[in-house]
Amino acid sequence: MIMKARLLLFSVLIALLASCGPSKHIMYVDMRQPSRAGVELAGKMVSVVYLETENADASTFNRGMADGFAYTLEQEYGTGEGSVGVFTMPKESGKDYSDRQTMIDLLVDTDADVVFLLDEVKLGPLEAGSSSVIVPFSMKMYCFDGMDKSEQVKTFSGSSSARPDGFEAGVYLADSFKPQWKTEAYTLAYFDNEKWYKALDKAESYNWKAAIDQWITLLDTNDPLRRSCAEFNIAVACYMLGDYALAEQWLDRSDADNKLPGMSDSFRKRLDSRK
């Protein structure tokens, strides 16, 4: 009987210790991915420059294409109408507009982080469409991102048909620069405690700043595991807010206190992919 009692007590203690460990909460979040064109525009100031020539029809088309392109980017990335600046300049004969220094100069002149330059458009003969007149065209566009570590000028070109004002051609062109979305699973750690549940509620509402404020209050503990879990969650929240450098710092703190098996390594891979 004494042996049985001791075994029973030991089993209860093991169960209590196990219940004190963290639980995992999985969130499925739609995350913004780079565009099909491979250009990341989120959070950046963007400008569009188009070239004018003596060909009035081509210049009109190019201006409309620039307006349609800028309008569409504003819907996806801007803060309202006019947030993507549209500028014009006369084309100089023999000048290489794909030159890196030329694009850097445009970046500075338009006070932007990313600049798109629409080169002279080539128009074909007008065609009678089903409901309106359309015109075949071929175009070339250069892009320079001053925040891209590669510091390379990217070139995009193609041909299609559109109305002579060029606006719908610009809208169609911008489609390749819209962000893509992917549903990803993210894991948060929590304990059976009201404060931890309160933080999870904020996270579930995508109120990441409020969730961080709650998790910070949980750092004042002598338990390295609980502190590590709070630090890990803060790292995830910083990632969601787009501050990847700060997220890495919090993940480093979490690992130093008590590295969370599986969760830490998986999340660090995501962080590394953002560098």
CA distance 110 to 168: 24
Number of structural domains (the chain) is 2
> Is 7 within a domain?
no
Q: Are residues 104 and 144 in the same domain?
A: yes
Using a 10 angstrom Cβ sphere, with 0-12 exposed, 13-18 middle and 19 or more buried, the burial of residue 173 is buried
Confidence at residue 13, expressed as pLDDT on a 0 to 100 scale: 37
| Residues of the chain where predicted confidence (pLDDT) is lower than 50 | 1-19
**At 73, which CATH number?**
3.40.50
What are the tokens at 205?
A: 């509402």
Catalogue the E-assigned strands of the chain. Answer: 23-33, 46-52, 85-90, 114-118, 122-123, 127-128, 133-145, 153-162, 180-190
Q: Are residues 139 and 57 in the same domain?
A: yes
**Which of 128, 159, 177 is at the close of a domain?**
177
Q: Are residues 248 and 139 in the same domain?
A: no
Confidence at residue 12, expressed as pLDDT on a 0 to 100 scale: 36
Using a 10 angstrom Cβ sphere, with 0-12 exposed, 13-18 middle and 19 or more buried, the burial of residue 226 is buried
CA distance 244 to 248: 6
CA distance 126 to 134: 6
What are the tokens at 9?
A: 């007590």
Confidence at residue 20, expressed as pLDDT on a 0 to 100 scale: 63
Confidence at residue 7, expressed as pLDDT on a 0 to 100 scale: 37
Q: Are residues 68 and 165 in the same domain?
A: yes
> Going by C-beta distance under 8 Å and a sequence separation of 6 or more, which residues neighbour residue 23?
189, 190, 191, 192
Q: Is 39 left (phi over 0), alpha (psi -120 to 50) or beta?
A: beta
Cβ atoms within 10 A of the Cβ of 77, count? 20
Q: Are residues 246 and 265 in the same domain?
A: yes
CA distance 49 to 35: 20
**Which of 177, 209, 227 is at the close of a domain?**
177
CA distance 64 to 70: 10
Q: Residue 139: beta bridge partners?
A: 158
Confidence at residue 182, expressed as pLDDT on a 0 to 100 scale: 85
CA distance 257 to 22: 15
- The counts of H helices and E strands in the chain are 9, 9
